[in-house]
Structure 1
């Protein structure tokens, strides 16, 4: 920050804690100086609010500073132009005046543009306010006629059903010659208006969309809520409100169907002077989308820029205005000041270009950055399941045989080449009894596809839009088969079944895969989206694109379940994001190991200038040390050594010991207890054992037991019931116990404050499966780069997950909770040092159960007396 720069005054909703002021000040100066930042602020210290206030304060101040500097420069130039010069060289003097005049015009234009932006935003606010008033009147007026509208809608739907029964032609499924397609494959029909966008933006990214919604809530709490333009970006999969499109589930198929619905329904041709056809315009295979309307989308865009909305609000508003939220959010992007986007949408250059994100001179803030490396790895991986390969191979061969006479020779050749490549990939699965790891070069040679240029094949599939056509083909013939089965009591073999019979006699290398297809396709009739040939082809194309890159850091893992391309060093793909941005901030509750993030931000550079650009900021927890009790439990109630290794943890001895620990804990801990277990399968094994031994029944006398659901849709309901049970206290009943899973739906982003989480228990150390071929290759790769680094990486994967669980409790300054780590390995010095600092301050290591239960009882007795 400049020496003469005054320390900013942050507009916080309440008097901030010292650590919050420190966080905002450091964030402000890091952005101002164009540095890179690693910010650690323990969960529950108001990190999200501090990010919003610090970053928005800088944004508003930088704008005021820009206007001030431009005005000053204009005044200086005007003075220089008006002042007379005594210079002898009049020609040089005139030249200098012309240059100054040109610069003056540029500055005045810049100032005028800023002024017009302010006027436009005020105009928007007034227009949206009037629109809301009119909308309410219209809704009231149309309520009386809603029954008629409903009836009319039902009639239309019935007509559509009748229309669907009409015989359909297959011409819409044919791939066209790629010369008729856009050469760049661009979405030329989109209504996105590309405008020059030179205003500074702040991109805030988090792991999930629900966490981004929390940022929306925090921005609304700030003093900037009335004059800040915020937009949340997401894919069509999240924003599509057309049920005919969203039901496709697969994001690629949704994208293709959406673009299809934008195209003209009529086929037109252009002719030359000689009357010959020069160009044919392709025919859309579906009706236009009713929500793809320029006028309505523009109205929704205005609502986005005036009202700060999360994804759910935006979808509701889109349905109300009958406008597409996806295109409205993209239209609003150029005028937005704050852009909220998931890690997945920001870390991939392809995803950034797809939604027109411009990072040049803008600020990027990654919250929940502990998951950033994983997001990078996922964005650049390419998994393909065996059943996807089988489905694509089956339908592609059927497709080629059915349309052979209608296909051009070039298209037929390319389709056969794709079929050949997929056949070779299937052959690789058949010989892979155990997981094998290949470099890219070794894989293409082993698969016998090294002689093929894969890039033109991938481009052909994209330009001809083969995937959605193959998807439509597979869905159409599945449906026909079902209809025939319903009509006939004795099912005759259809052409599809005969085809399956014929291809089952082909090459030996494909026999096993093709046998699997028969059962797979039977299931596909009931759940076509699960094994869709179209979505499977997208997965195959993504793998082929990775093979084209021939990266030295890439590996292909092969087993009987499928193929998986893994990128071992994703840092190189993060470097362009850092280079383009003014400032990049990574923030989280626990940022250890800091070295990992320093390497990510600097791309492993040892250059002094680059490393000095990184500002590391650590904030203490707002909770005093006496409000947290950390215990590393080494032995259980029966003096059994608590070592939950993968081989040992399911023994009846250890399972019974966990039961005894839980029975004692629920008796002395008031309110809610959240117990994290290593996996869903282990949670099931433990629950069944405790049920058999009568422990569940005994616990229920003290606390109601809840279990983490496997379906995300059930999480809210379970949490509400858990919260209700915690509040309902009686003489005998003192709260609830929630059995959760490390890395599951309840281990991140949730708030178990106050009575909801008086005790967090972590049973065992959740190490990833060391037998995983991908993990072993990653560890070996890191060890080759840095001797011993692979083992540290493996240890850190475990402790990151543990620290996320610990962070669910103790959410504000007056909160208090106990953290019980049940495994003797937690007492190791290297493990203790990896725990959050606020837990380390009060940590008791190598504790027997007797010592632990005494400390816990005293801890809660002391806090009960304070109340």
Structure 2
């Protein structure tokens, strides 16, 4: 790269630290030098997001400058253009070729200049009129809200689906409608490919950057970080702005109040939107020909004028009265960088609908430590008897209300769906009687309807009916209305009919990489479908993209990503990188604690119930609280064990909880998500305002172990109790481990190797959870904290090697007992007090 020796070669908005430069170098090298996959671990607080942005965007501008907007790049375009008169350009004099190349470069530059000026103009025009528009729209919104509020009370007719016809019942009218629809689509495609506006700029660069993260807040943070940056233009003499688009779901971008009020969950929202478009009234905010509409183009262009986050993009749509969700599809072509949630990237159907061209692009997945679980979750489903019974009840209730008003196609398929649900219940009950429903045991699809009339139902047609008719949305909405009429607090946040639709899809088209198996949760028997091999689903993205970058604060152990997500990628094409923390060496200490007062501390499943060990743990926590200022966060392996320990600590013979409360106010992680903010606020208040200090008892994998910031005095110490291994007897884990072992043997491995791989996978789940939890405390360069790993197994090299590098390199092993560790603790915090005074 041309600017390799410059001090700010990545256009970082601040003076980057060395570890940030190292990370940016590693990312740039991965993209530039043909790596297919990059796995990067950069602890929270080290400026990871800005480093990703700066390295990727700098590479992209370099690439455009050197390969797209150059004489060489233009010559490639000429030679690749089959319609060009230069087809036999080898016969032309060199000066003619050069003159033609220069003319192309000149036209491209002029188009870019015109487009940047055009964006300046529409932005200025928008700012000039926004105040007046806001006054008008405020009044309109008031009127609209009144009108919509009055019309939200739906009639029964609104819950009726359109007439459904199966393949054998398709009428000539339906054929005509389909033909008309095909004609309309072709016309739209012609309009899109044609020139419809005065300013038309095409994106000549084949490479885009797609940044994906798990949550809406993380994507918004990305937008705000991108806003801090600016990059050298890809064409000399032009001030080129960053073309960015925030892609989101309807939940974030729908601006139609009627649709939003009718829908209590995401799945209903999607179908409500589609249903409204098909209705006679249509959606007020979506032009019928939105892909060629001047209004949608105006919003698409306006979204390119600066970096807008998802809420701001929604506001633009509200101002212009045009749907930002659908308009985003027009803006994708011009973007250099787009952000989107995991689900939109990982599902092939969504990528196709949005026309996301990932070919030769850079795909960045942030917070990628949970990527394996996310992919499996998206393509997996579970359903139990109680849920199936509720579905049958809903279907019967709906049929009793509307049976005379449904056409035969809808009636017949709904009755078949009821029959199918009844057969599933019979199968589960029969297997339970025979004792065949052992947890983790595989279920063959053909066995589900063996010796029944299920094969006569044609499950594929039922699944097609549910997918095409969208009747699940109608039924769920109607049942929701009825339940709300009886109890206003009732709502269907996890609609069962949509779960049944997903289950039937798995039943009709079970992936070779997945399996059906038995499981039991809280005493309820369920049939589960689990995607066992996420690499197959992810392979299309990896094969098409120029490279895929997995980034996170805690990516260790990295071996799972190589083994189970990219087994088909050669190791030489995978780059891994892990950097130290940005904090000074002396700001973090990590102490494994193996014993206290002669009691060995090992919280394995068969030893953790020892009363003496629980009491010894309490004494250790008490002593730590006596020596640590501010806040202490403790992580337990599960809610069940946390409650068990608390019960023992409250026992009058030990009185440990009262003794701890003399030094720290005790808070417990709530099981109800709605109470999390209150607990965190009270915890913070106790530390910052009451100046007493506090201890927060939390759970690994719970609501406090990810995404919560315990910086500064909120987390001067983190205590990890035991190794949080998942339940080895869960159906999901049994199925997964069986799959790993069978795959190992199928590849020629020995039974011993198969067992090692399975055990390694099990251990890696645990260590990823540990790394994620203990990373909650150190959040910025001046932060400091101590991590206590209370379990003798943390002194094992094999366990330590699976800790994040920034934790592993700070482990203190010379202290052999708690007394020595507490002495080190006191010296650590005394030195921080002296430095603050100094």
TM-score of the two chains, using structure 2 as the length reference = 0.82
Which residue number in structure 2 is paired with residue 815 of structure 1?
783
Match of 1:209 in 2: 216
- The residue aligned with 1:491 is none
Question: Quick check: 1:765 aligned with 2:765?
Answer: no
Distance (Å, rounded) in 2 between the aligned partners of 1:305 and 1:219: 13
Question: Which of 222, 226, 231 is the aligned partner of 1:219?
Answer: 226
Contact map agreement 1:557 1:563 (CA 8 A) in 2: yes
Q: Could you tell me the TM-score, scaled by structure 1's length? A: 0.79
2:581 is equivalent to residue 621 of structure 1 = yes
Q: Give the superposition deviation at 1:475.
A: 4.5
Is contact 2:725-2:766 (8 Å) kept?
A: yes
The equivalent position to 1:746 in structure 2, one of 684, 704, 713, is 704
Query: How far did 1:406 drift?
Result: 5.7
Does residue 69 (structure 1) correspond to residue 64 (structure 2)? The answer is no
Counterparts of 1:277-676 in structure 2, within 5 Å, are 288-292=282-286, 300-319=299-318, 322-400=321-399, 412-433=411-432, 434=437, 435=439, 437-444=441-448, 446=450, 448=452, 449=454, 453-475=458-480, 527-530=490-493, 535-559=495-519, 560-600=524-564, 602-604=566-568, 610-636=570-596, 638-646=597-605, 648-649=607-608, 652-676=611-635
Contact 1:703/1:736 (8 A) holds in 2: yes
1:120 is matched with which residue?
115
Question: Given the alignment of the two structures, is residue 856 of structure 1 paired with residue 825 of structure 2, yes or no?
Answer: yes
Change (3 A) 1:108 1:401: farther
Contact 2:243 2:337 in 1 (8 A): yes
Shift of 1:764: 1.9
Q: CA deviation at 1:476?
A: 6.0
Residue of structure 1 in register with 2:39 after alignment: 38
Shift of 1:775: 0.3
Match of 1:680 in 2: 639
Q: For 2:122 and 2:223, how far apart are their aligned partners in 1?
A: 23
For structure 1, the residue ranges without an aligned partner over 5 or more in a row are 79-90, 266-286, 483-522
Most deviating of 564-573 and 676-685: 676-685
- What is the 5 A alignment of 1:133-282? 133-139=128-134, 150=142, 156=147, 159-160=150-151, 164=154, 168-169=156-157, 172-173=160-161, 175-177=163-165, 179=170, 180=174, 199=205, 200-224=207-231, 227-247=241-261, 248-265=263-280
Distance 1:420 1:197, change over 3 A: farther
Question: 1:797 is matched with which residue: 765, 769, 785?
Answer: 765
Gaps of 5+ in 2: 80-85, 194-201, 233-239, 745-753
SS of the aligned residue for 1:565 comes to strand
Structure 1 residues 33, 128: CA separation in 2 closer, same or farther (over 3 Å shift)? same
Partner of 1:430, secondary structure, is helix
Give the secondary structure class of the aligned counterpart of 1:305.
Answer: coil
Q: Which 10-residue stretch deviates more, 622-631 or 443-452?
A: 443-452
Contact 2:276-2:282 at 8 Å conserved across structures: yes
Structure 1 distance, partners of 2:723, 2:712, is: 26
Structure 1 802/58 Cα, relative in aligned 2: closer, same or farther at 3 Å?
A: same
SS of 1:576's partner is helix
CA distance in 1, matches of 2:21, 2:789: 32
Q: Does the aligned pair in 2 maintain the 1:443–1:556 contact within 8 Å?
A: no
Distance 1:158 1:365, change over 3 A: closer
**RMSD over aligned Cα, in angstroms?**
3.9
Deviations along 1:462-508, whole A, 9 cap, x unmatched?
2222222333453466678x5xxxxxxxxxxxxxxxxxxxxxxxxxx
Q: What is the CA-CA distance between 1:567 and the residue it aligns to? A: 1.2
Spell out, residue by residue over 1:221-262, the C-alpha distance to the aligned partner (whole angstroms, 9 max, x if none): 223498212222222133334444335233222111111222
Maintained 8 Å contact 1:458/1:545: yes
Q: What CA deviation, in whole Å up to 9, does each residue of 1:689-719 have, x standing for no partner?
A: 5456554444444334333344545544544
SS of residue matched to 1:527 = coil
SS in 1 for 2:599: coil
Contact persistence 1:783–1:789 (CA under 8 A): yes
Q: Secondary structure at the match of 1:15?
A: coil
Contact map agreement 2:715 2:785 (CA 8 A) in 1: yes
CA distance in structure 1 between the partners assigned to 2:500 and 2:125 by the alignment? 50
Match of 2:24 in 1: 24
Conservation of the 8 A alpha-carbon contact between 1:747 and 1:808? yes
**Could you list the per-position Cα deviations for residues 420-472 of structure 1 after superposition, in whole angstroms to 9, with x for gaps in the alignment?**
32222222332354535324445445585456643333222222222223334
Deviation string, structure 1 residues 573-615 (Cα, Å, up to 9, x no partner): 111111110111112233333332223564335xxxx332222
Taking the aligned partners of 1:168 and 1:785, their CA distance within structure 2 comes to: 53
Matches within 5 A, 1:45-124: 45-70=46-71, 73=74, 96-97=91-92, 112=107, 115-124=110-119
Distance 1:457 1:124, change over 3 A: same
Alignment check: 8 A CA contact 1:366 1:586 kept: yes
**Alpha-carbon distance change, 39 to 442 in structure 1, aligned in 2, over 3 angstroms:** same
Number of the residue aligned with 2:235:
none
Shift of 1:763: 1.4
- Give the aligned length: 772
Whole-angstrom CA distance in 1 between matches of 2:543 and 2:77: 34
